[in-house]
Structure 1
Amino acid sequence: MTQPTIRPLGERKRANWIRLRTMILLRWVAIAGQFIAVTITPMLFGLQLELGWCYFAISVSVIGNLVAGFVFPENKRLSERQNMAMIIFDLLQLSILLFLTGGLNNPFTLLLLGPVTISATALSMRSTIVLCAVAIISVTVLAFYHLPLQTLEGAILQIPQLFVFGQWIALIIAVIFTSAYSRRVTSEIHLMSDALAATQMALAREQKLTDLGGVVAAAAHELGTPLATIKLASAELVNELRDQPDLQEDAELIVQQTNRCRDILRDMGRAGKDDLHMRQAPLATVIESAAEPHMDRGKHVFISLESSDGNDSAQPAILRMPEIIHGLRNLVQNAVDFAESTVWIEARWTDANITVRILDDGKGFPPQFLGRLGDPFVARRRPRKTATPRPEYEGMGLGLFIAKTLLERSGASLRFANGSDEGGKHSKHVGAVIEVRWPRREIDAREGDNALPAGQNVRFSEI
């Protein structure tokens, strides 16, 4: 069963999500703060400022905000270039104000980190690098060129040159570190968001297929009796109409079409034909449903079941959950893709746990990836049919993440490992081992927290 291709959203597409209204509101907050600082500082601290030029720099931002607010609709989404242009404008406007108010001697130089942080969280890597470069150039210019801060008596307020140099170095390091840190965290959040969205899509698809299988199985059950009656009556008509070839031909056609309807319903309802309650099945049936799409792909897939208690207890019936089927299917697909020739699926159960182990005779997981398996979008691995031998497993990202997320959602815990089979059953096996373990009470359909009620099936409208 093929799965839809799901690609993460690109950086540039995310950058187009920012509304112009959001940037305008943020700029109004910055304008208010700048106006208050420029107006109150001379009165409180007795400083001489170039108020005319300061108010001119602030008014440029005011005009830009008013034009943007009147010309464009409130729900306009900015493109990445427009976002970058607005942030560069704010960065340069703030740099001009700092130039007029003492340069790096002004403690408000830390505000230069604001636009850089916004770019690192909202824009692409290229735009972030451009804005970091603009910020570093601005800080460097302010370190050498600025109007001094003077008191009303004419005294110049400035910190020692050594501290100016330290401020310059600290700001450059802060620009780089803040951008890298924000960028890394935002990328992780975006990757996880994309992977969870893909998981929800896969689960919804599996749920639809499961529901469809249940409906078809119920239809096959309900239509079985009338189809059998039609077949029986039409077969009798065939025998009774031997003397009337035309009518007999019509009766034979009815028999053929009845058999065809029976075969179609049997094929469509195959997944649910042994599932009386549609929501439960023997453990072996669930494993076979998960592995079935990959049984005929040129590799030997062996399924074994045994009780770990040593008392030959009966095979458990478990919940037929889409999370379990789709999660196990992804793990089996991974094993079949990279096995040399054989995949083993071992199911064991005790009174407390149900365990499924998936083993292959490939080269195993690369040791450096074992701690990262299950994270979304790990680097892809080469297919087995490449001309050169593959050095390690690649492509362990979204598929394993979906499998791990879905199985953990059903109450399972997963373990990834390498090494030979401890039981000695496959002495030559040195490949990958994936163990999935559930507390039995989580998925047991007869006992435990999620046990299904016993009794006859009910109509779907009554569930």
Structure 2
Amino acid sequence: MKRSLPISARWLPGQWPADAAGRKNMALLVQLRWIAIAGQVGTILFVHWGMGINLPVAAMLLVASVAAAVNVVSFAALRHRTDVARAELFLALLFDVLLLTAQLYLSGGATNPFIALYLLQVALGVVLLDRLSIWGIVLMAMLCAALLSFVYRPLGLTDALQGHLFDLHIFGTWICLAMIAVLLVLFMSRVTGNLQAREAYLAQLRQQAAEEEHIVRMGLLASGAAHELGTPLSQLAVVLGDWRHMPEIAAHPPLLEEVGEMQAAVQRCKQILTSILISSGEARGEAPEITSIRYFIDEIAESWRSANPGMPLRCDFGPHDYPRIIADPVIRQAIVNLLDNAREAGATYIDLLVGRDSSSLNIAVRDNGSGFSEQMLADFGKPYRSSKGKQGGGLGLFLVVNVVRKLGGSVAASNGADAGALILLRLPLSTVALEEPADDK
């Protein structure tokens, strides 16, 4: 039998891995560096040949080539990574600061108006890094800017440009500020979106943990109640058995029939308590029961029909070959909960539909009842969200969602095209099925 990964090791549909934000932000830094490299190369060529300012073109293009090589390596590494630590983001920003410092050193130092690009690195650090790392970037930028005031290669200006030095500085400052503004808008919005998605995912995990804690408390309460009720029910079964053999009752057919009905009711209560204990893991057998999909579903349907006479329930397995499965009582209870909810929603018929694909077993319950409101669909699976208007309602669907989620699956709800509701359970075959499919016989 296939062993499924624990829930903490799987990425379920719709989930955002907590560290994926770091990877996406590193990818944005790589993109930003490509833009910086392209801008540097274009500016170097334009200033040197277009404006006639003498620059050490070979050295500056070498610095840009080093940045490009680091970018290629970073991009290749990201393809095989699922998480990026903040320390790696710090090193990436630190590299960008040093790269900018090298280019400024070769092009006039602190007199170069593009020295303001240090502010872009600081702004990115504020969004991406922890407090200590942010101050590390700030101090490094301040130190590099201070050193560039004393140590740098002066620009080689022609005599014609010497008289327009201030105008050139103003023009360069305007271009620098425009670049910073555009890059901040483009990249900060995307970085902030990544961080917001990460926070939303963490909030979802916190909500899930709270719901699971609620389930544990309910399970403990149900298990304790089952143990407490077991003794009086056993006593009732003994008393009713004695009554059945008493001459006064044995000679009175109506009384004997009523005793039989009471014995059946007591037996039904004992079966329900046993199911609760099995679902809580306290009465699970040593050897799991292996059965076929058809037999498992037909048995659930037959039992439900017996408990709900007069309610049509049709099973449809479709043209599929199914693997044999390990019959888990929690799956049985989840399906029964859905059938009960459909009946309570005013359905006059219910369809139990079974299908499969390459990775999951799909079980759907469709009815022609009142369906779901928009609010119910938005809050589907949350505790105490019910359209029945009674106290404690909504726990059935809440338990179904959590049971299926524990098995690594998912639950989806929708309204039918005409009327009624459709609830689909998707159970991973790696969790519930044996490796090899077999015909249901």
TM-score, reference length from structure 1: 0.39
- Tell me: higher relative CO, structure 1 or 2? Use CA pairs within 8 A at least 6 residues apart: 2
User: Could you say which structure has the higher helix fraction?
Assistant: 2
